[in-house]
Amino acid sequence: MTVEITFNALFGSTLRYYYQRRNVRKKVLTLPLMLDFGDIRDGGLVKTRTSLLRGLHQNLRGYNVAEEVQEITDHLAFLKILIQEGETFRVWWTETAADYCGFLWLCQQLSKTGNRLDQVKMPLVFPKRDTLVQITNLGEIIYSDIDELMSYAIQQEVPKYVQRDYGYNWRDVKDENQPIRALINGHLVSQPVTFYDQFIYQQLSDGEFIELTKMIGRLALNADFGISSTWYLYRIELLISDGQLEAKRGPSSSPLKTLIRLKE
């Protein structure tokens, strides 16, 4: 039985629902590792992901970092077992930085094993009925899109020599270990932690205060590259602390109602 792998938790749920609707028993393994952000070299994968999640969600109410880390730990352990059992894997990914990093990492894990790896590389732009649809990540795909896009028709095997080469790419990126990994013209490039700050400043160019929720909405509309909105929230908080942005309390006590603008 082929084991499905995705690096997007929402798409993992969609894929499970897709198979349930068809009464097909499938193992779907979700690995939302967010490997496009944070340290990827020192201390092991679980440790670096724990540090990243704690930083990103330190001020978000209702988010349980411990549960998220435990899920990642369990799924990584399950992957190791499945590899040892000789399972075949099918990875679903797109050309977003998180998916691309995950794909490189997975290739490195499997390149020296006997496990077969197939890939379904989903397009970010595709025709749907009478319109052209553009998505920013796999989580925006609904279960009916899987058949409509003929997803299995674009499935390809990833030979061992290709896995090995991708694994070398991951090793190189890991050695660089910059805070951000971004896809630029199809190439994965390591970047400093300030890389996405430029898009935050662009939404604040008028000098007027804007509610944080509206700010995130502007970023989603004008600068959504498939990255998590929690990264923007994290960076905005740091820019406020560093005096680059000015903030004042909004009409409610919710942090998301905070008003921000460029520092005068």
- Arithmetic mean of pLDDT over the chain: 90
pLDDT of residue 60: 65
Beta strands 245-248; 259-262: pairing state = antiparallel
Q: Note the pLDDT tens digit of each residue in 64-88.
A: 889 999 999 999 999 999 999 999 9
Q: Note the pLDDT tens digit of each residue in 181-240.
A: 999 888 899 999 999 999 999 988 777 899 988 988 888 888 778 888 889 989 999 999
Contact in structure between 213 and 254 (CB atoms under 8 Å) = no
pLDDT score of 59 more than 70: no
pLDDT category at 96 given cuts 50, 70, 90 is very high
Q: Note the pLDDT tens digit of each residue in 138-182.
A: 999 998 888 887 777 889 999 999 999 999 999 999 999 999 999
- HSE on the CB side for 105, CA within 13 Å? 24
3-class DSSP state of 181: strand
Contact in structure between 101 and 49 (CB atoms under 8 Å) = no
* Residue partners of 6: CB distance under 8 A and separation at least 6: 12, 15, 28, 29, 30, 31, 91, 92, 93, 138
In 65-130, at which residue ranges do the beta strands (DSSP E only) sit? 88-93, 117-121, 125-128
Amino acid at 118: D
Contact in structure between 250 and 257 (CB atoms under 8 Å) = yes
